[in-house]
């Protein structure tokens, strides 16, 4: 919850709202520094995180923070989970391709996009 409060403070102070300068680089850094560094090794999970453009799943005012290591508010009291949590949940179900997944409570749609 402290992370969300910090994000809201940054937004209120005008520190967010800029677009992501280099989304591909930000995604790669997110995967290396937040996900692989914490032990997520599943190749499909890592490939999905590298492909799905997380900044498209957050409010435009928070796009510059999309690849940061914390959840972000997406409206209606909901948050998009931090990238590491999405990775752990994705790796845990051990998808191999061709399965059908019902993802309940997806909020922003990011987790569903990663699973797809």
Set 34, 79, 81, 108: catalytic member: 81
Residue 108 annotated among the catalytic residues of the structure = no
Closest by Cα among 43, 36, 42 to 83: 36
Residues 6+ apart with CB under 8 A from 107: 74, 78, 79, 80
Beta bridge partners of 80: 72
Active site residues: 81
């Amino acid at each position: 919850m402290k992370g969300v409060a910090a994000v809201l403070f940054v937004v209120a102070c005008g520190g967010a709202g800029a677009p992501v300068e280099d989304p591909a680089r930000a995604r790669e850094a997110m995967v290396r520094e937040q996900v692989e560094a914490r032990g997520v090794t599943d190749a499909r999970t890592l490939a999905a995180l590298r492909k799905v453009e997380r900044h498209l799943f957050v409010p435009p005012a928070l796009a510059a923070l999309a690849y940061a290591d914390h959840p972000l508010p997406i409206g209606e009291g909901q948050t998009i989970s931090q990238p590491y949590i999405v990775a752990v949940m994705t790796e845990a179900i051990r998808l191999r391709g061709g399965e059908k997944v019902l993802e309940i409570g997806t909020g922003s749609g990011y987790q569903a996009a990663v699973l797809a």
